[in-house]
Amino acid sequence: MKKLHLVSLGCPKNLVDSEVMLARLEQDGYAVVADPAEADLLLVNTCGFIGPAVQEAIDEILRLAEYKRADP
């Protein structure tokens, strides 16, 4: 079974959007895992309306990218 890890950043609408994405991906055969190191797919759902949110998103993407560099 394919495994995914999702990080949702930003407003409550992003959280709702993330829940919709997770439900769809689970229907498509993905299992959600809490540990990004276990995931085959890493998703970040975010927005970029304000500067600090953009930086938070960039930081999170770079953090998650380290998992794939360690285990491509």
Counted domains in the chain = 1
Token representation of residue 53? 């949110």
What is the arithmetic mean of pLDDT over 3-10? Answer: 94
Q: Over the stretch 11-70, which tens digit does the pLDDT of each residue have?
A: 888 899 999 999 999 999 999 999 999 999 999 998 877 878 888 889 999 999 998 777
Residue at token pair 């953009």: 54
pLDDT of 67: 86
pLDDT of residue 4: 97
- The pLDDT tens digits of the residues spanning 28-45 come to 999 999 999 999 999 999
Domain that holds residue 32: 2-70
Residues 6+ apart with CB under 8 A from 53: 9, 10, 46, 47
The one-character DSSP state at 36 is G
